[in-house]
Amino acid sequence: MKDFIYFIKGNFRKLSFGWALTFLSSFGQTYLISLYVTSISSEFAVTEGNFGAIYAICTVLASFIMLTVGHTVDHVSVKKVTAFTVICLAFSCILMGISYHIAFVFISLVGLRLTGQGMLSHISMTILSKFYDKNRGKALSFSSLGFSSGEIVLPLLLAFVIAWFDWRWAMIGSGILLLLYLIRLYFTDLDHFNKQLSIGRPSSSGLVRDFGKIISDRRFLILMPTSFAISFTVTAVIFYQYVFVAQKGWSPQLYAAFFTGYAITRLIFSLAGGLWVDKFTAKKMFRFYLIPISLGLLAYALIPSIFGALIFLLLMGITVGMSGTIKSSILAEVYGIEKLGAIRSLFTMFMVISTALGPLIVGWMIDGGLSIETIMLSLFAFLVLCLLNAQRIKAVASISESDNLTNT
């Protein structure tokens, strides 16, 4: 831990930039958008189920657009690509706030999901993975604290604004806050990150070939399901968490207090995950980090009291806390860093798709009359299969031991 503190002190300016991007990505994350679901559904006379379907379509569309823009972090100035992303996210928030037709809501949601959840997280994790080698885990874990910080601060702040003013003002205010960040960005020196940039923009045919090589390689079939499963499960449970609370007859206030425990646990294990990745490598951590959330789902299914949900939230915090560092680090270990932006954009696309499918499929299960216990056990079985598949990573050589697929 002492080494971690010294590392943060010596690299604080670089690391704080990564933290800021993950924090600002919150404006496109499901947990924050969910605050507006009831208000938007009522305002535009659509059912919450129909809004969920619109949300899923927008998320999937954003994931495909991600493939066409994710590679920019490999060859465009970090400051330029960040500024453009923040501007687009800000205008997506403002457009949502002034929308008076569902079509504008649709466009806004695509922008929020693409630039918030997609690009800002992608930029942060990619540039730090490229810049740091020996201390990659520590760098990514510090950056991941932005996610936890957003979960702790922003829901409370925006819930207050929505209660005292209006959901539209909360959205417009979010956009203004993002635009104000551009002032800070203007005075931030990011030239050190540009040293890792590739020369020239890849052609469309070149990107297609790279993506084809990645998807057809067995490493993809080992790495992708685990990333997909975490996002699928976490998004689905969080999206319907208060539906489950209502069906169980639990106290919403007590559950909200327990959710704070999840955010704190995630923060702690974001730091711990970085230390463990640097000590043991991401490949070793990758084999085990699904275990806590899997056991949490089992507790949620088998313990009838609200404390089953508490156990799940704490164990989910452990896995989610470590996941950002492990998933980003292992891509650099397995594929190398030359085309890491393009590679991460492909994995991010599948991750974003999973966040759309999770609420959709679990919503169908709820509408089909399946019990909460059955839903949780189904998710548990899914994660166990992914955990078993992850064990195959033992046979995969790191990039220092094998040819780089992206350079063949």
Segments making up each domain of the chain, as ranges: 2-407
Please report the pLDDT score of residue 401 as a whole number: 42
Report the C-alpha gap between 339 and 357 in whole angstroms.
28
Report the C-alpha gap between 218 and 396 in whole angstroms.
9
Give residues with Cβ within 8 angstroms of 101, minimum separation 6.
Answer: none
**Encoding tokens for residue 342?**
């393009």
Share of residues in the chain with pLDDT > 70 (%): 94
**Encoding tokens for residue 352?**
């974003």
pLDDT band at 374 (very low <50, low <70, confident <90, very high): very high
What's the chain's average pLDDT?
87
Please report the pLDDT score of residue 405 as a whole number: 42
Maximum average pLDDT range among 114-128, 166-180, 242-256, 325-339: 166-180
* φ/ψ bin of 343: left (φ > 0), alpha (ψ from -120 to 50), beta (otherwise): alpha
Domain 2-407 has CATH 1.20.1250.20: yes
State pLDDT tens for residues 19-39.
999 999 999 998 888 788 878
> Which residue would you say has higher pLDDT here, 256 or 228?
228
State pLDDT tens for residues 47-88.
777 887 888 899 889 988 988 888 888 888 999 999 999 999
Residue 130 scores a pLDDT above 80: yes
Question: Does residue 294 contact residue 384 with C-beta atoms inside 8 Å?
Answer: yes
Length of the chain in terms of residues written: 408
Report the C-alpha gap between 393 and 95 in whole angstroms.
44
Please report the pLDDT score of residue 247 as a whole number: 86
State pLDDT tens for residues 177-212.
999 999 999 999 888 888 767 655 666 676 677 778
